[in-house]
Structure 1
Amino acid sequence: MSPQRKLLLLGTFVHSKTQQSLDIFHNAGIAVDADGKIAAVERDVPDLSEAKARLLTKLGWDEAEVDVTQAADGQFFFPGFIDTHIHAAQYANAGLFGKSSLLDWLETYTFPLEASLSDLSRARRVYARCIRRTLSHGTTTAAYFATLDVAATNLLADLCLSMGQRAFVGRVCMDRTEMNPAYYRDASTEASLEATRQTVEHVRRIDPGFDVVSPILTPRFAPSCTREVMAGLAQMHRETGLPIQTHLSENPGEIRLVAQLFPESSSYTDVYHRLGLLTPRTVLAHAVHLSEEEAEVIAREGAKVSHCPCSNTSLTSGAARVRWLWDKGIDVGLGTDVSGGYSHSILEAARQAAMVSRHVAMNIEIPRDDDDDAAAAEEKTKEKERVKLTVEEVLYLATRGGAKCVGLEEKVGGFEVGMEWDAQLVGLSHVHDDGELHHDGGGDGDDHGFVDVFGWESWGERVAKWLYNGDDRNTKRVWVKGRLVHRRR
């Protein structure tokens, strides 16, 4: 691989400052060194040429050795999205869930497709397309479930590294004989753990520092695993520090099944807690139906939650309560959960998170006017408003929130000096007086997407329009660790 060139990015930058606020700065420049790290930031200078000159002087860089990207009118730089829960092996089934509930969907659609990817030519087609598609939507980091096949899982790691997507790649463990189909399960507990060790060592060989691709320990979910394999993965975590990903309390039927399989545990969460799988490096997908006690345990152990609003709706699993999770002290990110979720776009997941929060609000009952307890009615009204997530909050979930979930909060999710340049260039087209679109410097012809900007919107309003109307046509360029990994033609 040829040496990476230094970068200068000039224009408007938008990123999350806190959960509740965006930091939007104009006439600014960011310098990225040859290692892909932000070396300097110049904000609020008179013009972009001045920002460029100041950065070159401050760092002593020769302009001939620097690639310059200047945002056109209507464009802005935004951090890359982080998908904290996606099944790369299920990408080919996106949109196929019929009228299924979770357990039926696994048997009908999921297990047959995943098993078929032991054919590596088939796996390459699915995985390469999944990576290209998610990159085109601005996903710079993805926490992937692969399959139980070692070679296919290793292929996914190879492809992520070669195509430049930051990734956590997990070989799924599923050794319980009575719960997994005979054609798709680990041969034994020890075989499951040994296969996981093989994938860990493969990733260590191709990316020794786990700078771009990391292994992640992946017990599929409690019903598919024996106590022994989950305890073995917990021991592996303690020895290596590797992250863990699994599913939790997605569906009422699943929860009842867990109670039958693990009668010694007081809850679904308690299964993982007893076996050592709840850690600060654990990502729990869904967490829709948690009790107060379960949330307290998750918060105390520092485990994270991946909120998957599209999948939770598609499979009729339920509506996760993000505000409630935050109030409990639990870090939350966003997951597409392809293919339980039909969309591979984290921007879509962000807007669905906003919509699901409104359904949570609608389910809060306010006492009727003839009720004597006016104070209680007022409190319920305030609660209804408070549970609704804002534009700023769902974009935080998509970036800094996701970075916290996967342990990369010091590296990605924002535009501070020392962080790595995982970012996307977003373009919004302006509408002319005749109703035609002004070319924004990216894309061809009329292929500009659904975001129409008329010129009188504030920048906060433009970002809101992008959240609710945007798609991959607005994602013009994508970088990971300073490397350009996608450019829209």
Structure 2
Amino acid sequence: MSTPRNVPLRRALYVGTFIHCKTLQELDICENGVIGVDEHGKIAFLERDAENVDLVTAAHGWGDAHIVRTSSSQFFFPGFIDTHIHASQYPNAGIFGQSTLLDWLNTYTFPLESSLANVNTARVVYSRCISRTLSHGTTTAAYYATNHVDSTNLLADICLDAGQRAFVGRCCMDSLSPDFYKDISADAAIADTKSTIDHIKSIDPTYGLISPILTPRFAPSCTPPLLHALGQLHRSTDLPIQTHISENLGEVQLVRKLFPESTSYAQVYDMYGLLTSKMILAHAIHLSTSERDLIKERDAKISHCPASNSALTSGGAKVRWLLDSGITVGLGTDVSGGYSPSMLEAVRQASLVSRHVAMLDGDAAKLSIEEVLYLGTRGGAKVVGLEDRIGGFEVGKEWDAQLVGLALVPEAKAAQHEGALCAESFKLPSGEGPVDIFGWESWNEKVAKWVYNGDDRNTLSVWVKGRLVHQRS
């Protein structure tokens, strides 16, 4: 059972093993820890090597706190941060056939997104998408909606009701889109975007959980007047921005044709005042060195979407090359170009894609378990501008967390006679997911098994800002 929004939070103690990314290369593993989360959903204290919980509660005067304990095969981990996901495309997840990007948009994406003009249809799609992402441990998501005001506003409402932290963007697109699904003008796109901003401000005035995000779909779908107006809106509101860049070679060539006055795809966004520290650029597979340097200079952020890039045969992003230049990188599922709403799958695929890149560029391109988990948590927090609030378990951060459970394999009973196996040997554990732990593994090895073998069945509970938002039954 999740905790309804209208129920006040009470102080809670989380007891057991806590694991988070200390740095890009290092996991911080705290066994026998106690974290106190206050009635505002913030971490008030962290005690390490706390053998006696009663002494901790007494020392802090928290004797009335609710207590959540882990077992020996469970651990707390920060919630995942999906920096690029199209909520409006969720019904198409896994359907990409033989398509590449531009063909896939026309064949699958635009028809589905246009159907969400119907608010009842949108309610079904968005409710399911949010339920799924929460069940996979995604506590924060940067969502693309459609260009429909009412259904985009509904997405914000559903996120707030579900308790998921979200950035909700109404797609702006007044060019190179079907006549049945595009903005009629740049002015209309800006007016509708402002309507969504006003709505989100009305339901969450401080943007404590839900924030609007300016969303030019990508440069080819926006005319220069629309890009110019979005740049002005960004300057006047200081809102974050999300878009796509250099996902596909055909797309890069199209940008070159549509914007001949620009020197690169990145420079298109820069010339309209959109390439700033609050810009999230999805994909960034086919960047030139000069584009990379411009992105670094403007402190724009990149969302790496490995599952999507493989599914649509877009290419393999050179994440090590980006990280070594000092660019901030997070991960995205990119549903439905990406086939799964699971950020754990995005973490796993980030590791595998880096190995494919390494086959051409050398072993230095490979990303470690620690690095891909960092990208899915702290890296994502930096991408969405919330690194001071989420991504780790430091005092003062908000309790965005998931309880991960692994299956501890019981000792097999001795066979009763030669050649026999006991029936117990064939029984699989229930309720703990597909990751088998035999007892000899270190915590680093347990985490690696989770990354490569785990799924939503391992996500037992999820909290956002101290509120329970998902619990596996």
Instruction: Please give the TM-score of this superposition, normalised by the length of structure 2.
Output: 0.95
Percent of aligned positions that are identical? 61
The one-letter code matched in structure 2 to 1:393 is E
**Helix, strand or coil at the partner of 1:247:** strand
User: Residue 31 of structure 1 corresponds to which residue in structure 2?
Assistant: 36
What is the CA distance between 1:233 and its match in structure 2?
A: 1.2
How many angstroms apart in 1 are the aligned matches of 2:53 and 2:185? 60
User: Residue 319 of structure 2 corresponds to which residue in structure 1?
Assistant: 322
The one-letter code matched in structure 2 to 1:42 is E
The one-letter code matched in structure 1 to 2:61 is G
User: Residue 15 of structure 2 corresponds to which residue in structure 1?
Assistant: 10
Once the two structures are superposed, the pairs formed by residues 336-375 of structure 1 within 5 Å of their partners are: 336-364=333-361
Any conservation in 2 of the 1:304–1:405 contact (CA below 8 Å)? yes
2:430 pairs with one of 440, 446, 467: 446
**CA-to-partner distance for each residue in 1:395-438, whole Å, 9 max, x for gaps?**
00000000000000000000000000000000011112229699
User: Residue 328 of structure 2 corresponds to which residue in structure 1?
Assistant: 331
Any conservation in 1 of the 2:169–2:215 contact (CA below 8 Å)? yes
Q: Does 1:265 align with 2:255?
A: no
Moved over 4 A (4+): 435-439
What is the CA distance between 1:51 and its match in structure 2?
A: 3.4
Any conservation in 2 of the 1:326–1:332 contact (CA below 8 Å)? yes
1:406 pairs with one of 384, 391, 416: 384
Q: Does 1:199 align with 2:196?
A: yes
User: Residue 444 of structure 2 corresponds to which residue in structure 1?
Assistant: 460
What is the CA distance between 1:445 and its match in structure 2?
A: 6.0
Any conservation in 2 of the 1:281–1:303 contact (CA below 8 Å)? yes
Farther-moved stretch of structure 1 (227-236 vs 250-259): 227-236
**Helix, strand or coil at the partner of 2:225:** helix
User: Residue 82 of structure 1 corresponds to which residue in structure 2?
Assistant: 81
**Helix, strand or coil at the partner of 1:294:** helix
User: Residue 369 of structure 2 corresponds to which residue in structure 1?
Assistant: 391
1:253 pairs with one of 250, 255, 274: 250
How many angstroms apart in 2 are the aligned matches of 1:272 and 1:28? 46
Q: Does 1:285 align with 2:290?
A: no
Q: Does 1:305 align with 2:302?
A: yes
Any conservation in 2 of the 1:283–1:303 contact (CA below 8 Å)? yes
User: Residue 170 of structure 1 corresponds to which residue in structure 2?
Assistant: 169
**Helix, strand or coil at the partner of 1:399:** helix
How many angstroms apart in 2 are the aligned matches of 1:61 and 1:207? 30
How many angstroms apart in 1 are the aligned matches of 2:303 and 2:155? 21
Q: 1:10 to 1:175 in 2, by over 3 A?
A: same
Q: 1:408 to 1:152 in 2, by over 3 A?
A: same
User: Residue 101 of structure 1 corresponds to which residue in structure 2?
Assistant: 100
Unaligned 5+ segments in structure 2 are: 1-5, 414-423
Any conservation in 2 of the 1:29–1:52 contact (CA below 8 Å)? no
**CA-to-partner distance for each residue in 1:250-275, whole Å, 9 max, x for gaps?**
00000000000000001111100111
How many angstroms apart in 1 are the aligned matches of 2:429 and 2:155? 35
User: Residue 233 of structure 1 corresponds to which residue in structure 2?
Assistant: 230
User: Residue 144 of structure 2 corresponds to which residue in structure 1?
Assistant: 145
What is the CA distance between 1:450 and its match in structure 2?
A: 1.8
Q: 1:486 to 1:261 in 2, by over 3 A?
A: same
- The total of aligned residue pairs comes to 458
What is the CA distance between 1:446 and its match in structure 2?
A: 2.4
Cα RMSD between the aligned structures? 1.4
Once the two structures are superposed, the pairs formed by residues 32-47 of structure 1 within 5 Å of their partners are: 32-45=37-50, 47=51
Any conservation in 2 of the 1:89–1:146 contact (CA below 8 Å)? yes
Once the two structures are superposed, the pairs formed by residues 41-190 of structure 1 within 5 Å of their partners are: 41-45=46-50, 47=51, 50-54=52-56, 56-63=57-64, 66-176=65-175, 179-190=176-187
Q: 1:447 to 1:59 in 2, by over 3 A?
A: closer
What is the CA distance between 1:58 and its match in structure 2?
A: 3.7
Q: 1:28 to 1:229 in 2, by over 3 A?
A: same
How many angstroms apart in 2 are the aligned matches of 1:59 and 1:185? 57
Farther-moved stretch of structure 1 (293-302 vs 222-231): 222-231
How many angstroms apart in 1 are the aligned matches of 2:301 and 2:210? 20
Any conservation in 2 of the 1:83–1:398 contact (CA below 8 Å)? yes
User: Residue 369 of structure 1 corresponds to which residue in structure 2?
Assistant: none
